[in-house]
Structure 1
Amino acid sequence: MHADVIVLGAGIVGVCTAIHLQDRGLKVVLVDRRGPGEETSFGNAGLIERSAVVPYGFPQDLHTVLHYARNHSSSLRYQPAALPAMTPWLLRYWRESRPNRLAKAAADMLPLIERSVAEHDELIARAGVQHLVRDAGWLEAYRTPSLFAEESTKAVKLAAQHGLKMQILTAEQLRALEPAVGEGFVGAFHWLDPKTVSDPGALVAGYAALFVREGGRLVKGDALTLIREGLSWKVQCAEGVISAPRAVVALGPWSTELTEKYGYHVPLLGKRGYHMHYRMGTTPLVIPVVDLEEGYVLTPMRGGLRLTTGVELAAKNAAPNPAQLDQSEHKAREVFDFGPRTDMQPWMGRRPCTPDMRPLMGPAPRHEGLWFAFGHNHHGLTLGPVCGRLVAQMMMGETPLADPLPYSPARFA
């Protein structure tokens, strides 16, 4: 089978890239070993984070670093045996998180964040998946009065600077707005611009169905079989060998398993996270709540109430560790009334993170026709549609919606 482009990976970024390339008249084949949206795109908290205008940086104050170093936080846990191999990445992440560099990263990512909801809206309408998306925003809740007061000043400034809609709620106002929230929070910020998704995997599957309806091919195959023969890239699939002059690597945390075969040693770290579903309590939660101090998110989903954990640093093939999920659940039950677990076991996935908090989007420096579209850190679901458009624009030689230089794979060459 011959195509104009092979897109490797049917997560949110790969699916959206395939759609935007197809919109430009190209014959596109989308390849994955599983169904669309069944890996990292499936397991997130379901937030389209228009308000996430500052990347998640490494803490710069000693008090917070020491707090995490004790390895008792539900926001961040680590497996000590994994740290030596991760130290170079963590040191670079720490340097890139210094105030001036973090501000530059935020500026580089802003054009993508600003368009995130609008780009989703377009695909939501085309795919007919409006029933999966809500406009109620999300709640950023705090337990400590002093921290809430300090962050309130920052939030007001941030909202004004970026034209974001945000309301500061007292504890009483929070419980009036969201009766499912019990005692324990001193207040919250209600960010109104973001949207929430009741089934992220189904959203990606809906976008993939749009791609197929409009003429695209979605096939099962092993992306790691990609080879270069003459002027073509070829990959082995269930339907046989597929060849195309261009191939896009959009494999999320698995991308480096392929790129390293071609000599690209990208510093991509898979930050692990878990989720579990629960039966709703007597008063169902309506608006997602992020417990900022404990690091978990509670989101009402089609499958029940989903609790998504913060970050776990562990070796790639390390066995799942239930400690973080158990601790987050304990903390959540201090504030929320909800039922027992409904999943047989926790879901675990990896967020593909770069130390400079920018994705890799652009041509591979040394291989003609090979393109990268991965490393979207904590915002893959948020940025999938806008980044798919940007990659397609670059591949077609169009004027890009944002300066692509900050995302160039050449920065790690």
Structure 2
Amino acid sequence: MGNPVLVIGGGVAGLSAARSLQLAGRRVAIIDPLPSPGGASFGNGGFISPDSFMPGAQPGMLRKLPGWLRDPMGPLAIDPRYILRALPWFFLWLRAGRLTHMTALAHSLYALHAPALTEWKRLLGPDLYGRFIREEGEVILGDTPPSGSAADLERHLIAQFGLEVDALSSADIRRLYPQISNVVKFGVLKKGNAHTVSPAGINSALADMILADGGQFHRESVLKLIPENGQWLILTSTANHRACDVVVAAGVWSAQLLAPLGIKIPLESQRGYHVMIKNSGLEIGLPFIHRGRGIGFTPMLDGLRVAGTVEFSGIDGMPNERRADQAMFHARQLFPALTQSPHSIWTGQRPSTPDSLPVIGGVANQPGLWLCFGHGTHGMTAAPPSGRLIAELLVGERTFIDPTPYSPSRFK
């Protein structure tokens, strides 16, 4: 089976890469200071959306920037103290949001996302897949229908890709969500999407499979990657590890690990929040996202998860618990009958690139160094296909999609 591949990061991206490498015949070891799952892999909204393809940046974002700076409780907020540091990333983000760029980005996102459910089945097997994933579809709600050039492009691509998207009448919306406010007047059902009833459970199950197949987990913090005599020395908080192949899947911290090697990846943290509500008393027929409010509602095994929003404050920025309060505010606006308080709140950092495409591939002039991170808000969707792609590249197999759009070299 050869020398083990060291995977840095035990979130859904690292786990998917490690399991795909095992299935390709390689031994693996994962290095992460937290037990799986940690970070955004624990606290995400649970959406698995093969039919998602629109990049985050879209036309018209520039004129919204002042409002984001003024409103710390909006769906997208920027800490004014962080804006100067974030400006280079935002410049690339706004450039990626031009309509002329969006079609190509959307095609690349769809190519990666489309096999998400097939890849989850391959990684988990049928029993665990059935335990944790529900193929019931996903609803997009709004107070008004989307409009503008990006909405027109989305409708065009939905037709081009042949996706099953049904418009919902007001009666349909009330049938799925009997207690929802009358302000919600627009809805579509994306039949090809799914969700997990436990992000923590599905990632833990994947970690257990890796262990059962001979994988190792090292609970250590990686301090530095050092090229050494044709292999890599991984200096951690408590040990040294050496390997010929290393996969960096450390989420938002990946760029910091790569910077000393002269590898510059524009990566930002989009901090997200969730609240968990036990016994909410709400009838939630299907998980849904309300686009205007930037939050999603997902029924899970341990309660109702209300997750979302985007906050730019840097890796070291302190969490703002008021944004979790704001999620509850929006939840009660949508469901006035909701009186329960959350039994827990959470915050985590989503690793995001300006063009919304993850970074997947080898690094030029750095043999044995492989990257798999930057999935933004689509980690549960994109990680399993990304894990397959990085494994195919590493072992030299023919890849299931063209890897060029996701290559680290696109940022040179």
Matched, 1:86 2:86: yes
Kept in 2, the 8 Å contact 1:170–1:187? The answer is yes
User: Counterpart in 2 of 1:199?
Assistant: 198
Deviation at residue 223 of structure 1 after TM alignment: 2.2
2:203 and 2:218 mapped to 1: Cα distance? Answer: 15
Matched, 1:21 2:39: no
Deviation at residue 302 of structure 1 after TM alignment: 2.0
User: Counterpart in 1 of 2:96?
Assistant: 96
Deviation at residue 51 of structure 1 after TM alignment: 1.8
1:56 and 1:198 mapped to 2: Cα distance? Answer: 25
Kept in 1, the 8 Å contact 2:54–2:154? The answer is no
Kept in 2, the 8 Å contact 1:59–1:65? The answer is no
The within-5 A match list for 1:267-286 is 267-286=266-285
Matched, 1:296 2:292: no
User: Counterpart in 1 of 2:411?
Assistant: 412
Consecutive unaligned residues of structure 1, counting only runs of 5 or more, are none
The within-5 A match list for 1:349-388 is 349-388=348-387
User: Counterpart in 1 of 2:215?
Assistant: 216
Q: 1:61 to 1:211 in 2, by over 3 A?
A: closer
The within-5 A match list for 1:203-352 is 203-235=202-234, 241-336=240-335, 337-344=337-344, 346-352=345-351
Kept in 1, the 8 Å contact 2:278–2:343? The answer is no
1:152 and 1:240 mapped to 2: Cα distance? Answer: 51
Deviation at residue 41 of structure 1 after TM alignment: 0.8
1:159 and 1:97 mapped to 2: Cα distance? Answer: 19
Equivalent residue of 2:365, what SS? Answer: coil
Q: 1:216 to 1:339 in 2, by over 3 A?
A: farther
1:58 and 1:96 mapped to 2: Cα distance? Answer: 8
Deviation at residue 272 of structure 1 after TM alignment: 0.8
Kept in 2, the 8 Å contact 1:124–1:130? The answer is no
1:142 and 1:206 mapped to 2: Cα distance? Answer: 35
Kept in 1, the 8 Å contact 2:42–2:199? The answer is yes
User: Counterpart in 2 of 1:172?
Assistant: 171
User: TM-score normalized by structure 2?
Assistant: 0.92
Matched, 1:118 2:94: no
Kept in 2, the 8 Å contact 1:127–1:206? The answer is no
1:315 and 1:242 mapped to 2: Cα distance? Answer: 29
User: Which stretch of the first structure deviates more once superposed, 236-245 or 83-92?
Assistant: 236-245
User: Counterpart in 2 of 1:5?
Assistant: 5
- One-letter identity of the residue aligned with 2:353: T
Kept in 1, the 8 Å contact 2:280–2:340? The answer is no
Equivalent residue of 2:341, what SS? Answer: coil
Deviation at residue 75 of structure 1 after TM alignment: 1.3
Q: 1:339 to 1:158 in 2, by over 3 A?
A: farther
2:189 and 2:152 mapped to 1: Cα distance? Answer: 14
Q: 1:150 to 1:233 in 2, by over 3 A?
A: closer
Q: 1:67 to 1:238 in 2, by over 3 A?
A: closer
- One-letter identity of the residue aligned with 1:290: I
User: Which stretch of the first structure deviates more once superposed, 64-73 or 117-126?
Assistant: 64-73
Equivalent residue of 2:376, what SS? Answer: coil
Cα RMSD (Å)? 2.5
2:282 and 2:90 mapped to 1: Cα distance? Answer: 41
User: Counterpart in 1 of 2:33?
Assistant: 33
Kept in 1, the 8 Å contact 2:10–2:36? The answer is yes
2:68 and 2:130 mapped to 1: Cα distance? Answer: 40
Q: 1:151 to 1:331 in 2, by over 3 A?
A: farther
Equivalent residue of 1:309, what SS? Answer: strand
- One-letter identity of the residue aligned with 2:189: H
Q: 1:23 to 1:171 in 2, by over 3 A?
A: same
Consecutive unaligned residues of structure 2, counting only runs of 5 or more, are none
Equivalent residue of 2:400, what SS? Answer: coil
User: Counterpart in 2 of 1:135?
Assistant: 135
Equivalent residue of 2:314, what SS? Answer: coil
1:9-61 deviation digits (Å, cap 9, x = unpaired): 11111111111111122121111111112112111110011121221214426
- One-letter identity of the residue aligned with 1:37: P
- One-letter identity of the residue aligned with 1:190: L
User: Which stretch of the first structure deviates more once superposed, 335-344 or 114-123?
Assistant: 335-344
Q: 1:316 to 1:241 in 2, by over 3 A?
A: closer
User: Counterpart in 2 of 1:403?
Assistant: 402
